[in-house]
Amino acid sequence: MPNSQPIGVLDSGVGGLTVLKELQQLLPHENFSYLGDSGRAPYGPRPVEEIQAFTEQMIDFLLTKNVKAVVLACNTITVNCLPALQAKYSIPIIGMNLANEAANQISKKKSIAILGTAATIASGKHKEALEKTAPDARIHAIPCYDFAALVEAGHIGDEKAMDAISQYLSPVRGDADAVILGCTHYPFLAADIQSFMGDSATVIDPAALTSEDTLNVLKSHGLLNESSEAGKLDICFTGDLDQPKNLAKMAFQKEMSITSHQW
């Protein structure tokens, strides 16, 4: 079947599952091959050169699966490595949507918080995009050093999660009315973040926007799968499988078959 090759989706760990779910919903006939590098997570504190090297290793692994495109379901990788990866590989490499336009449309007070890993916030890419889209907005770029690690460890909806959310978001509660989840792990904490921020703030998950970007890229390259059958999922992690299985079940609301790959 033409264009039946899978779409590769990669992340530093389990966070990219939130993007994979949106991709599958928007592109139900596509096949997907997911790789989560949970054995080396988190990526946020790592030097950019190391993030780049690890990502190239993941893309090379996905190329052995004959993928036709790769979605970087990780903001840390997107903001630090996207141009270099697009220059190196001949297949389309799609990064996370920065949600700057969505945040500008949603925010009435023009007070927008960006949550991300240390590497994501340090890159300044989200802030730069927002400054171009919403030059009159007050932008609160907040590095949430342990959010990704909390999710990887399964701390969702518990006291540890709420303590961390309070620590990072207390300065903007009651002020920011749009909160961008600038890490694909953070949607697992979305309900907790929304509860803390209250009804006056809107939490923005860029996963759906990234899925729309992926659809547009596939269309423009003539790569859409022409099959009418439901696509298949191949999910693989490099670390222990217990927590990824639990979070995959949470994301997809069913048991998921997951395999392991060791570098």
Residues with catalytic roles = 74, 183
**Closest residue by Cα to residue 48 from 142, 147, 96, 119:** 119
- The DSSP letter of residue 149 is H
8-20 burial by CB neighbour count: b if 16+ within 10 A, else e? bbbbbbbbbbbbb
CA distance 217 to 31: 16
HSE-CB for 79 with a 13 A CA cutoff: 24
List the beta bridge partners of residue 10: 35, 72
Q: Name, in order, each residue with C-beta under 8 angstroms of 16's C-beta and a sequence gap of 6 or more.
A: 9, 10, 34, 36, 73, 74, 184
Give me 19's structure tokens.
């993007």
Amino acid identity, residue 131?
A: E
Cβ proximity of 7 and 67 under 8 Å: yes
Phi, psi of 229 (to 5 degrees): -85, 155
